[in-house]
Structure 1
């Protein structure tokens, strides 16, 4: 698998975090955890923030959703994905110029407070339709399962081909488009399970850390 570009690897995401998502509770002594510059991969960064006690994280910079978004915006989305999977509230603002947000591909991520460039109803609809585990994946022995409810009815995908599994493992932190086997990429794009930004492709589904309801209900 090809190495990520220096732009992708060097894209730093600044965040602020607290021990609670309630605005009043956050004013109490000891609740603020301060600012962090995330330079690690988003999987490690989210795990570290959660272990430090963060239950609400703010991304101050606006995050672009469209395909021409910067590497920093893309890595911000990866971080939102990982924090969503850990049940952390995320305060962030998105921007969409081409209407891509309306196709629902990001609807499983913790919803932003606003989507700049789109009517207010877009962000409101995102918040209204959001629920935990809307598009998730889990590993089994020799396979990976995706449960996707972003588009209404439940779609389930079981992946057991070695090439696909190896690619997905790398896509979790982002891979250059040229480094993904064409047939694997076509399958994942067709299933709506990846996004492309800054010349890289990344995995959209959220990793399950705990089920919010019995697993068969999700």
Structure 2
């Protein structure tokens, strides 16, 4: 699979980070990493946070989930959420939803928000109740990608091995302009609900876990 990714989305976003999940522990000296500006692609940003010792991250601004209203900041935040979820970090964030998309389950594999503005009060609770690690994940093999998806009930398995699909997914990891994704790729991935669209870009939804919770899957 080609390693070159599409240019990262902009603008930069600011986060707050701590070295521990526990609120009591986060109050101890040396636990706070402070406010950090992230301006690189989502994957290296998440890796740097993890290597710096971050285990709890806060996004200070609400994240729009709806494609019709989300701006570049929200698209960037969702990419980062995907990567932080894959690395097992806890994320304190607030979602915002105006069209009911929060209830469709497509984003239910991401670390759940503390609340969802514009949605019924129980919506965030339902997200938290249904969340578990590795709910929708992918792994690379030699010349293929395998997706394991439990967002919508029973396990769905997808194997992607056609070269132009693999090339497209490489760009989708950081967001590809909608018009640059081949029609057949876009149609099949959208039908499987493996991609989302925000601000004229398509991006890849499954997370890539770096610590498999139930034994090795060859990631």
Partner of 1:41: 41
Partner of 1:58: 58
> Which runs of structure 2 are paired with 1:9-158 in the superposition (5 Å)?
9-68=9-68, 69-158=70-159
- TM-score, normalization: structure 2? 0.94
Partner of 1:196: 197
Deviation track 1:38-74 (CA, whole Å, cap 9, x = no partner) reads 1100101000000000000000000000002001101
Unpaired segments ≥5 residues, structure 1: none
Q: Distance in 2 between matches of 1:35 and 1:42?
A: 17
Partner of 1:211: 212
| 1:81–1:109 Cα contact (<8 Å) kept | yes
The alpha carbon displacement at 1:20 in A equals 0.3
Q: Distance in 2 between matches of 1:11 and 1:197?
A: 14
Q: Distance in 2 between matches of 1:196 and 1:9?
A: 13
The alpha carbon displacement at 1:12 in A equals 1.4
Q: Distance in 1 between matches of 2:67 and 2:130?
A: 23
Matched, 1:185 2:181: no
| 1:19–1:33 Cα contact (<8 Å) kept | yes
Q: Distance in 1 between matches of 2:12 and 2:5?
A: 21
| 2:138–2:145 Cα contact (<8 Å) kept | yes
Q: Distance in 1 between matches of 2:181 and 2:100?
A: 26
**Equivalent residues, number:** 213
What's the RMSD between the two structures over aligned residues?
1.5
> Runs of at least 4 residues of structure 1 off by over 3 A?
1-4
The alpha carbon displacement at 1:3 in A equals 6.2
Unpaired segments ≥5 residues, structure 2: none
The alpha carbon displacement at 1:209 in A equals 1.0
Deviation track 1:65-105 (CA, whole Å, cap 9, x = no partner) reads 00020011011011011000000000000000000111100
Q: Distance in 2 between matches of 1:110 and 1:60?
A: 15
Deviation track 1:152-206 (CA, whole Å, cap 9, x = no partner) reads 1000000000000010011000000011111110010011000000000000000
